[in-house]
Amino acid sequence: MIIGIPREIKGDENRVSLTPDKVDLLVSSGHPVVVETRAGVGSAFSDENYRSVGATVVESPSEVFDRADMIVKVKEPQAQEYEFFHENQILFTYLHLAPEPELTRALLSSKIAGIAYETVQEDDRSLPLLYPMSEIAGKLAPQIAARLLQNTSGGPGKLIGGVPGTGPAHIVVVGGGTVGFNAALMAKSLGAAVTILDINLHRLRYISLATHDEMETLVATPQNLSDVLSRADVAVGAVLVPGARAPKVITSAMVKQMHEGSIIIDVAIDQGGSVEGIRLTSHREPTYSDEGVTHYAVPNMPGIVGNTSSISLSNATYPYVLKLANEGLHDAIHNSSAISKGVNTLEGHVTYEAVADALGLDYVPVEEALSA
């Protein structure tokens, strides 16, 4: 199977989908790899790094899409890439289709097999391809908060960890999953006072035990959330429902109660955001102010640490890429429940129920779409 790696064109996206060491393994397994020139530059991998392991480097994205049976990307295709889709091609990437009706229509009309990293799910309910980027986004959130709190960024001039005689910043993390837990750990390591909220009491017990009760844990009721946000210097929205739109757990009324100069970082913006009314930002223009609160809603946060993110993502995706390449789409779906759950579009049908519900489209189970 010919595997294609196009250069990512989303704004300030520095990641590459497969690093040279994984390309080496694929080529050694008999799968030609076509890489668009400069695809790895933002992650510190040169064209020569790819050529040296047997990849073919081409000049344009159209060449990659035209030649490849499977396209392996990082972020969802952008509008200018839709014309490159062709029938029976596999697209393996983060798709986040629930808030993306136009992309979904493009995938359906081209009858491309869209497999979303974020919905690949193992039998133990783990999300192995979402985890590495959630881990990085979580760790990044307090680093970004530390910068936004500085005067030079228009913040209140507060050191995240404080010093003796002054108080640390209070960081509230909403959601105790991979993103939230890593955000809370990093914030605590920087000296912040941390409160983490989740609806799952068992998860809160785990967090409490794992951190030796060093951070406050609360059940995420509207009242608790409202109370703690009114005291927060920084709020991190980290609520995820795999494949579906993120629930709006931080309401406009709660935002209005936050003090002037406080900060919201919505890591769930890829899935529509967990803050009511929040709008997308970018790495070039990462924030805006509303109700005196700074909002940060960049959908590709790990893109600013391209080398670390690319290596971490490639480590996780490689086994699934190899399985798809070795077995082909149909056999891989039959033989792997994880890959089957990752299939969001197939043969012109939406095959992931949460996406169909979010977009008001008909849902067709994967097996039914395969046999159609």
Q: How many Å apart are CA 268 and CA 238, to the nearest integer?
A: 6
The yes-or-no answer on residue 96 being catalytic is yes
Catalytic residue among 24, 170, 270, 349: 270
The yes-or-no answer on residue 270 being catalytic is yes
Check residue 10 and give left, alpha or beta (phi > 0: left; psi -120 to 50: alpha): beta
Written as six digits, the tokens of 256 are 């209005």
Strands 343-346 and 113-116: antiparallel
Q: How many Å apart are CA 45 and CA 170, to the nearest integer?
A: 39
Give, rounded to a whole angstrom, the gap between the first and last alpha carbons of the chain: 23
Catalytic residue among 96, 170, 295, 349: 96
- The beta strands (E) that lie in 154-280 are given as 170-174, 193-198, 216-219, 234-237, 263-266
Is residue 257 within 8 A of residue 234, CB to CB? The reply is no
Written as six digits, the tokens of 27 are 């080529």
Is residue 107 within 8 A of residue 252, CB to CB? The reply is no
The set of long-range contacts for 195-204, using a CB threshold of 8 Å and a minimum separation of 24, is: 195/170, 195/171, 195/228, 195/232, 196/172, 197/172, 197/173, 197/224, 197/225, 197/228, 200/176, 203/176, 203/177, 204/176
Catalytic residues: 96, 270
